[in-house]
Every structure is written in C-alpha cells, then in structure tokens.
Structure 1
Amino acid sequence: MLTAVEALLSRLIGFATTPDRSNRDLIDWVEEFLTGAGFAVTRIAARGEDKAGLLARFGEGTGGTLLSAHSDVVPVTGQSWSSDPFTLTRRGDRLQGRGATDMKGFLACVLALAATLRETPPTTPVMIALSWDEEIGCRGIPQMIDHVIPVLGRPALCLVGEPTGMRPAIGHKGKASYHAICRGEAGHSSLAPRFANALHLAADLIAALRAEQARLIAEGAQDADDDIPCSTVHAGKMQGGVALNIVPDRAEVEFEIRHLAAETPGDILARIKARLPQGIDIAPTGAYPGLSSDPRDPALARLIALLPDPTPIKVSYGTEAGYFAGLGIPTLVCGPGEMERDGHQPDESIALDQLALCARVLDRLVRA
C-alpha cells in the first residue's frame, strides 16, 4: 500500500494547485481515477472561476465514512526550496514537496484505499469530498456543503485529514475576517492638523484591536485545551498614503477574529466598533465555523480506538470540519504529518511512517 501511496502523492504534488491557479487538471485526474475505481462521482463547479470540487461515493446502503480533503496548497513564492516544490523528492525516510503534509499526503492515502475497494468491498459506503481554496479562508466548501447529503447520503462519520500526526483533533476555533476602509481628507502636510489623516484612523482601529485582545485575555472565555486559550484578534495588513508631504485620504486594514465556541465574532466586533471614531467602514470578507466534537460519540470513538495515541487534542488552525459538523455529521480532524513542523514551510515534507499509519487506519476504518 505504501508504494501506491507514494506514487499517488508524486502525481498529486505535480499539480501546482496554488490558489492563484485553476485546480481543474487535478480535479479531472482525480475524477477519472475514482470513476475507474468504481465510484459515482459528482463535480461541483465553482461560481465565477475556473475551479471545482468533487463528491464521490462507493458502495450501497446507509451510513458509511466520509473522507474530506482540499485540493489547494499554499504558494511557494519567496520561499527557499532545496528542490522543485512541485516534484516529489525522497529525503531519507521523508517525502518532500509542496502539499506533502498539507494535505495531499492524506489525499494520496484516500486514493490508494479507493483503488482497493472494488476487489475487497467495504461493509458500508465510502465517500470522498475534495474541495478548493481551503487555504484562503475555506472558500470552496461553502459552495459544496449543501450538496453533500443529497449527493452522498448521510455518513455516520466524517474524517477531515488535515495533519495532526494521526492524533484525534476534536476541536478548533472559528474565524471571521474583515476589511476596513479608513476615510480621511487629502491635503498638504504643512497644514496637516486641518485634515483628517486616514492613517491615524487606521492606527485608532489597530489600537482598538489591541485593546479588545487584552480584554479577551483578561476577561474572555477560556479553553485550556487550545494552544491560545482565549479568542484572538489579529491585524495582518495595513496600507495607505501616497507621499510623505500629502495627508492620506484613504487607508486600509485587514484583520481577523479567531473565536472560541463560547463567543461570537459579532459580539467581539461590536466591542471593537464601539471604540472607533467616525470615518471607518468595516466589511466582512470571509468566515468559517469552529469545531467542537464529543469524542464519546460512538462513531468517533470507533475511529479514535484505531489510533496509536487516542488522546483527543485541539488544533490551533482552522479546517473545513465545522461545515460537516454543522450538518449533524460526527466529525473529527485526523491526518498524517505535523502542521507545526511542515505546514506552509519551505521544503515541506512528510514521514513515510505517517503515511503508512494513515493508510492502515483508513483501511481498518472502512472494513471494520
């Protein structure tokens, strides 16, 4: 099985599916592969762009297992790689290439399993969801999620294979992102006090974000199982101004809220807005739900029992898992590789033993 996984991972990494490119070549290839393996495959086209996702099912009956992955990878621009990032390279006991860990390694394991099902059918259906643009805010899965149950039926379990070192992750924070436009007045800098400076408004916004973060640390909801136990607020981009001697009339700030299940981004944003002066317009740009699963759920407990380390964890990054959980499907995040070591890093790689473990767990899961 591991030989098949490596060959499939090599093929998948050869598709440079960064968010600025179409993922159609990969989707075409996976669709043909799964159709040849006996799956019924449904393509979901993205609205307004040349991208797509897949929903696939093998087997009859009710229940079954849904295996979820995303097709996109983060860019390599500005990173120093020791080899071509879109060619799989073996480095001792590791396989190197963009997406090896996040998350084409899991997808390769899923496809290797899929190729065996016709010869030795599973006891319940096996389903696959493959999305696009997860890395830029889970933009694909919202367009797919309403099709999942009508197309596939209701699975007993959803496994989202983001890298956890094959440990069972039962939760993560939700996220909401925003774009703020700060509107000032253009004027000569020698008369600066007469004009509203848009960059000063942007600084006021960032000060409000920092104040709310301090409040969340001191007074907000807490979850000791999270790496950062409170909800977080983060400003990622600020830009404005055209010349030193011109008072800027426009500045922009992009920021995010990553929130615990006990808090809503709307309440956090309302407190931030209450601190702001006039002249700042804030618009949402994206969001995805958090995840909070019960490891005692029988479907999840069955999967957890297959893992070498069954201790439930929570992860700091976001995933598509909350969308499946929102359908009432018991959902767990568990996949090969270590996000902290390799996620989004140059020379991203994955250990062969992680892939082997994942392949064994998936096989036992669908044939139990």
Structure 2
Amino acid sequence: MEALTRTKAILRDLIAFPTVSSDSNLAMIDYIGDLLQNAGARVEIIKAPCGTKANLFATLGPDVGGGIVLSGHSDVVPVADQDWSSDPFDMVEKNGNLYGRGTCDMKGFIAATLAMAPQFAAQIQTRPLHFAFTYDEEIGCFGARHLADTLAARDLSPSVAIIGEPTMMRIIEGHKGCYEYSTHFHGLEGHGSAPDLGVNAVEIAVQYVARLLDLKAQLPAKAPETCPFDPPWTTVNVGALNGGVAHNVIASRAQVDWEMRPVQTSDADFVKSALRDLCDTELLPKMRAVFPDARIELETIGEVAGLIPTETNEARQIVSELTGGNSADLVAFSTEAGIFQALGMDVVVCGPGSIEQAHKADEYLAEDQLIQCLTMLSRLGARLGT
C-alpha cells in the first residue's frame, strides 16, 4: 500500500523532531510546510509570541468558507525519567507496531494527512480542505487558542473540524473542559523556633488545599441531571504542592498546582469564587497581620473549553459515513476540539491509536490503526472530489 509506506516514512521523520513542549517546534513546522507546499497547498506559518514556536495553517482548494479542517498538535510530552526500550525519537517497527514518542499522540494522524495531501489536491473541487497543526497543546492548548484568534479575524471560516487525537478511530463528540492553575503563596521566612514571627506559606497552602478538597466533595451534587459524562460532575485534582527549604526554616514560598474538569462553567465559577473568598476574608488578613507584603497569586495556566455534544453535527455525519461508525462516544481526556467548536465549527475527535499508549514509555501506534485512518482520509478525498 503506497500510502502506508509514504505515511510511515513521514512519521519516521516527524518522530525524529524532538518537539517536547519545552522546546521549539519550528524545524518540524518547516518540514510540514515544505510537504504541503509541494502538494500545492497555500501555507501560512504563524509564529508564537515567543518566536521559537509556530502554528501552521494550510489550504487546498478554493478560497471560500465552509471548508473542512484536519487538525493535530505538533508537541509531545517529555521522555525524561521514562524507561524506553529504544531511542524515543527514532521510530522502531516491531510486531505490527510503530514505536516512538508521539506515534499515537499525535504524529501518526499528522503523517497520514500529509501523505494524503497530493491525492487531496488532485481531488478537491468546490470545498476547501485545511490543515491546522498547533504548538503547546500538552501544556494548555496555547497554540490552538492563538490559531483561533487568527481565524476569528478572517472573513472566511471553515465549518467542520476533525481533531485526530487517538480514539482507536472511534467518533468522539464530547469531552469535559480542562482548567489548570498554579496558586503561589508568598509569606515571610524566619527561624522555625519562632513560628509566630513569620508567615509560613506552606501552612497557608495546606489550608487552601483543604478548602479545595471541600469544594471537590460538593461538586457531585451539582451534576446536571442529564449530564452524559463519566463521572457526570466536575472533578478537581491537586497535582502538586511545593514549598519550603529546610526543616527548621519558616517557608516563605509555596505553590499548589491544581486542575478541574468542568461539565458546566457555573461549576468553575463556584470553585474560583469560593477560593477567592477564602483568600480575601481569611488567609490574606491573617498573613498580612504579620507581614503586610504577604500575597497569594492565582496563575491561570489554561482554561480550555470542553467539546459539547450537539444534536446536529456535520462533522459527526461526515466521519460516520467515512468510517462506517454508527455511534459517537464521550471521553475523559481533553483536546483542542472545544476551541474549534467555539469558533462555530461542527467538530469531532477521531484518530488512530489508543490514548492508553499516550505519554508512556515505549509509546506505540498499531499499523492497522494507521491503515484505518488512511482509509478514512482516502474516502474523504473521494467525497471532496464529488
């Protein structure tokens, strides 16, 4: 199968770009841009404010609205402290699987779309096909939000988006949002033998976490009666609590990293309002009674909207026809899909591989999943040619 051979060759090249979110993705974006330009696409590279990363948005077909977007993120999670059997940035084929960081999450889908680009170019008639490849999805969907701002400023917009996250080629029509925060506590250091003369940021952080856990326990009762998610309520997770320097030093700094996965924005408002009230009426007055410059700062890492199932969804209809799938599911993990939906597009998530393999050592993509993805894309090309 020529398309499969070409896809694997492109995937090998993509894996060789170590696009961990902390590093640049520009070399990979340039590589993708060259492939799409060679296929006849109009390619736009949109630099991030930092200058070391970029989104890519490319179009095949007429310059009109109502197009279809194939989207994926270029970044991958780190490999540090993971026990890999081989070089994670050198794709290995073994027993029908393709091993390497990003094979399933989500360079496999990207490679398949790039391999099919010349065929798409020859088939497209009146409806454009767009390629959207973003940066920093893994740490807050910053690239997709930047791309959304770019697209929102234009007169012509696509109407359908297919996000190729690993779903085992199942059609996914909904997932919760993902809101991530770091709360920073600034107190006053001192000797541990005189705790009343300092402001212990770690102790304040513990009180903050205790309130967060209390709010977490209240959220199940707020679940909408018809909520389709599992669990059907907004969840909260405390990911890390760091602070202090030694046993006998009053901690002047602490940080709590936490997230929530809201099923409705009112839940997020409830949690943030309660924490703000705790800080303003209890924690800060107590801290500033000892140290007037004490402060608590909430840093928003990212507030990524969920993908809301809708009764009418052209993306669901199209992908159902392409894959033969007659149902659509929900997932627990989050994607960039809600950002595209907020732009007015009909959106589904559907891509090769299993989320169970993502982010782990020896991440892999089964070759048969790649074949199913290529079959879907081939049928999409035929559809665009009618």
Q: TM-score range by the shorter chain?
A: over 0.9
Report the TM-score when normalising by structure 2.
0.89
Q: Which residue of 1 aligns with 2:289?
A: none
Deviations 1:209-239 (A, max 9, x none): 1111110123444665323321111121211
CA RMSD of aligned residues (A): 2.0
Q: What letter corresponds to residue 212 of structure 1 in structure 2?
A: L
Given candidates 294, 303, 313, the residue that maps to 1:287 is 303
The 1:223–1:201 alpha-carbon spacing in structure 2 relative to 1, beyond 3 Å, is farther
The 1:222–1:230 alpha-carbon spacing in structure 2 relative to 1, beyond 3 Å, is farther
Q: CA deviation at 1:11?
A: 1.0
Matched residue of 2:237: which SS?
A: strand
Unaligned runs of 5+ in 1: none
Q: CA deviation at 1:149?
A: 5.8
The answer as to 2:94 corresponding to 1:91 is: yes
Q: CA deviation at 1:364?
A: 1.1
C-alpha contact (below 8 Å) 1:69/1:130 kept by paired residues: yes
Q: For 1:26 and 1:260, locate their aligned partners in 2 and report how far apart those are by CA, in whole Å.
A: 35
Q: For 1:222 and 1:345, locate their aligned partners in 2 and report how far apart those are by CA, in whole Å.
A: 36
Q: Which residue of 1 aligns with 2:134?
A: 131
The 1:122–1:349 alpha-carbon spacing in structure 2 relative to 1, beyond 3 Å, is farther
Moved more, 265-274 or 19-28: 265-274
Q: For 1:204 and 1:174, locate their aligned partners in 2 and report how far apart those are by CA, in whole Å.
A: 26
The answer as to 2:326 corresponding to 1:310 is: yes
Matched residue of 2:119: which SS?
A: coil
Given candidates 162, 170, 175, the residue that maps to 1:172 is 175
Q: Which residue of 2 aligns with 1:239?
A: 242
The 1:150–1:186 alpha-carbon spacing in structure 2 relative to 1, beyond 3 Å, is closer
Moved more, 140-149 or 223-232: 223-232
Given candidates 353, 372, 376, the residue that maps to 1:357 is 372
Q: Which residue of 1 aligns with 2:192?
A: 189
Aligned residue pairs, count:
367
Q: Which residue of 1 aligns with 2:117?
A: 114
The 1:87–1:365 alpha-carbon spacing in structure 2 relative to 1, beyond 3 Å, is same
Report the TM-score when normalising by structure 1.
0.93
Matched residue of 1:140: which SS?
A: helix
Q: CA deviation at 1:112?
A: 1.2
Q: For 2:366 and 2:155, locate their aligned partners in 1 and report how far apart those are by CA, in whole Å.
A: 32
Query: Percentage identity across aligned positions?
Result: 37
C-alpha contact (below 8 Å) 1:72/1:135 kept by paired residues: yes
Q: Which residue of 2 aligns with 1:101?
A: 104
Moved more, 215-224 or 8-17: 215-224
The 1:219–1:322 alpha-carbon spacing in structure 2 relative to 1, beyond 3 Å, is closer
C-alpha contact (below 8 Å) 1:176/1:256 kept by paired residues: yes
Q: What letter corresponds to residue 333 of structure 1 in structure 2?
A: V
Given candidates 242, 267, 274, the residue that maps to 1:271 is 274
Q: For 1:349 and 1:308, locate their aligned partners in 2 and report how far apart those are by CA, in whole Å.
A: 25
Matched residue of 2:23: which SS?
A: coil
Q: CA deviation at 1:123?
A: 5.4
Q: CA deviation at 1:41?
A: 0.5
